[in-house]
Every structure is written in C-alpha cells, then in structure tokens.
C-alpha cells in the first residue's frame, strides 16, 4: 500500500539520504565489518550533508527542521544498508540530540552542538550497567559532589558508539536515599582523567557497530557538564524514551522490508525441481503473509511517527510500536532465511547478517517483556 505520511520535501530528502548511503556507506561495508566500527570519515560526510543535526537549531549548526518525519526518512535509508549503522547514527542524531538540545544550557549548546552536527563529535548514551539492563532506576554508577563539580565512579556496558564517542551522556546516582529521584545526567567527555573504554564487545550480530564497556574511576566532571537538573535524570530519561522507541520501530520495519524485497527477488530466480522456489504454493503463501504483515506494521509505525511529530505519542503507545515492530521484524527475517535455504545460513548473504542483526531489537530500548509490562499496567492489570 502507498504510504501517505510523506510529502515532496520528504521524498527529495530521501533521495539525498539514499545517495549518501550509496556513496559513503555501501562501498565501505566490508571495512566497517572488519574494523567493527564506522570510521570518522563516514560521520564527517553525514555531518557535511546535514543528516546529524535534524533536531538541532540552526544557530548551533543544525537544520532544526521541526518535523520528525525527516528523522524517520534518514533512519529508514540507513537501515536498508545495515541495522548496525542505523543504530550507531540513531543513537547520535535521534536519541542524544534531544538531551543536548532540550536540557543543555546556552553555554553547553554552543560548546558541543556545532561539532555534534558536523560529525567531529560522536555521541553515546551511558545508561545500561553490567548489573541490570532495563531497570534504569537501579543504577549503581555514582556521582559525589565536590568543589566545582562531581566525582563519578562506576561502569556501563553495551554502549553503542562507546568505542569512539567524544561525548557520553551518563546517568549516575547522586542521592542514594531518593531512589529513582536521585539520578542525574552528566556529559563525560573524551580525555577526562579516569574515563576509560573497555574492549569492543564480541556480539552475535551488528558487527559494524562499535559497542563497548565504559569505565569511570574518580572521573572529575565539572558543574558545567551537568545536563538538566540535579536529581531529575530519571525523569529526563523517561521523557525521551518515546523518541528512542519509535526510532527503533522505524529502523526495525525498514530493515525487515528491505530484506523481504531482496528475498522476493531471490525466490523468483532460485530454482528447485525445475521451477522458481517462489512459485511453490507454500512459499507463495508464506511470502503473501509476510508482505501483508510488513505493510500492516508499516502503517502502524507510520501512525506512530505522525503521533510523535505532533507530540501526542504516549509512552505506552511507544512501547506498543517498539515491541510489535521488533517481533514482526524477527518473524519476517527468520522466514527469509528459510526461503533462502542453506544459503540463508551463509554470512556472505545479506539475509544471514540481517537475521543476526535483528535479534537484539527485542532486547534493547527496553526489552519486549518490559514493554508488555508497561502496557499491562496501563490497562490496570
């Protein structure tokens, strides 16, 4: 079915995003896979094209388009290339940007945002800890007040862009007695004494993304790097999770649809018993179901995109679209592997890599189980 949420400006922007992907990302995928990271050149080119500052006001180097549909378009085009690349860019331009723009002081925005938009600075978000993932209120990383700043101790794990981030938005406990109401956000910068990166984590999928552990040992963070209000970090995080989750949904269905399209082309060409495998009734029915399921999910995600753009996407609705899109994505990709037969299990085929890459989407940005818990609570259960 035709998608109706985009206008001519969005279509023109999509053409530019696709050109960037074809020129700067696709030819270098093997390099990214080998190095397990996106090199700085790709970031700088994205910044030059204006893709990293979509949520940033013009006075700080961004474009401040004020239309979330442009974020969705860029995320979709990158997701068609690789879910890994989409997660790396998404954390930066779609997740970190609202924290810096909404919560940053004038001095902070002038200091960080121009290089954030140009790709000279890469951002990461340090929330998840080794002792717990989805339970953000149980943070153990601490920050103690000292003269002119704070001393941060602790560690984070599974941090996308952690291997190269220049700015890390770190959630730390500043008042243990207050529980969730005693958490503050800090911007830890590359080069601060005591801030160290651990190994690049050896993941099942998303090999191109540099996912790392981060360690903070008596890191002095000046008062000028407190982001938002002291002890309101948990609220700041909750207020911005809807965008992270709808962004995840956008990427989920875009990646699945792209691989499904490639699979349809494959089963038209691949022959068994003297005929294309796609012509067998069972396979034909499977593909018909997959296409329908993808289009239904796309319509649901599009509705969430518009709702978020109009500032009416609730946390519960964001949870719904996040878990559903992740579930459908994984169902589609598993079926695509099956339709490829033995070749679907070979790393040289995109479908195999996409299948591995997608598995984490049911875990991150709040696991699907946590999403259902939120939905159930909202229903009074």
The residues assigned a catalytic role are: 244
- DSSP assignment letter at 218: E
Question: Cα dist. 214→36, 164, 174 in Å?
Answer: 17, 11, 19
Both structure tokens of 70: 């442009």
Please tell me the distance from the alpha carbon of residue 164 to that of residue 237, in angstroms, as a whole number: 23
Closest CA to 93 of 163, 189, 161: 161
DSSP state string for 138-154: G---EEEEETTEEEEEE
Give the N- to C-terminal CA distance of the chain in Å, as an integer.
36
Please tell me the distance from the alpha carbon of residue 132 to that of residue 126, in angstroms, as a whole number: 13
Non-local CB neighbours of 360 within 8 Å, separated by 6+ positions = 203, 204, 205, 206
Q: Which run of H or of E encompasses 280?
A: none
- Residue 189, beta-bridge partner list: 167
Both structure tokens of 141: 């990383």
Cα 41 from chain centroid (whole Å): 20
State the angle between helix axes of 368-378 and 315-340 in degrees (0 to 180), rounded to the nearest 10: 140
């Amino acid at each position: 079915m035709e998608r109706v949420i985009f206008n001519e400006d969005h279509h023109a922007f999509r053409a530019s995003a696709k050109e960037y992907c074809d020129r700067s990302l696709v030819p270098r995928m093997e390099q990214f896979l080998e190095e397990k990271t996106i090199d700085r050149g790709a970031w700088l080119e994205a910044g030059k094209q204006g893709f990293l500052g979509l949520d940033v006001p013009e006075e700080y180097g961004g474009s401040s388009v004020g239309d979330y549909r442009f974020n969705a378009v860029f995320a979709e085009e990158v997701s068609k290339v690789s879910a890994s690349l989409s997660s790396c860019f998404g954390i930066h331009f779609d997740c970190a940007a609202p924290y810096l723009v909404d919560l940053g002081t004038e001095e902070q925005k002038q200091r960080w945002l121009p290089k954030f938009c140009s790709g000279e600075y890469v951002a990461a978000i340090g929330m998840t800890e080794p002792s717990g993932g989805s339970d953000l209120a149980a943070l153990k990383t601490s920050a103690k007040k000292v003269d002119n700043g704070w001393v941060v101790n602790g560690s984070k794990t599974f941090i996308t862009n952690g291997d190269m981030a220049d700015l890390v938005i770190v959630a730390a406990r500043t008042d243990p007695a207050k529980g969730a109401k005693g958490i503050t956000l800090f911007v830890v910068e590359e080069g601060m004494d005591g801030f160290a990166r651990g190994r690049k984590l050896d993941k099942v999928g998303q090999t191109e993304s540099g996912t790392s552990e981060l360690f903070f040992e008596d890191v002095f963070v000046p008062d000028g790097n407190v982001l938002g209000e002291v002890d309101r970090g948990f609220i700041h995080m909750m207020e911005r999770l809807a965008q992270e989750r709808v962004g995840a949904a956008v990427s989920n269905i875009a990646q699945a649809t792209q691989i499904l399209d490639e699979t349809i082309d494959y089963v038209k060409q691949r022959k068994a018993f003297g005929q294309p495998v796609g012509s067998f009734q069972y396979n034909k029915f499977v593909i018909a179901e997959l296409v329908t399921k993808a289009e239904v999910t796309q319509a649901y995600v599009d509705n969430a995109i518009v709702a978020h753009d109009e500032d009416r996407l609730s946390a519960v609705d964001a949870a719904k679209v996040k878990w559903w899109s992740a579930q459908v994505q994984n169902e589609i990709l598993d079926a695509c592997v099956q339709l490829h037969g033995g070749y679907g299990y070979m790393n040289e085929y995109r479908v195999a890599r996409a299948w591995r890459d997608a598995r984490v989407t049911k875990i991150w940005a709040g696991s699907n189980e946590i999403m259902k818990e939120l939905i159930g609570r909202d229903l009074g259960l």
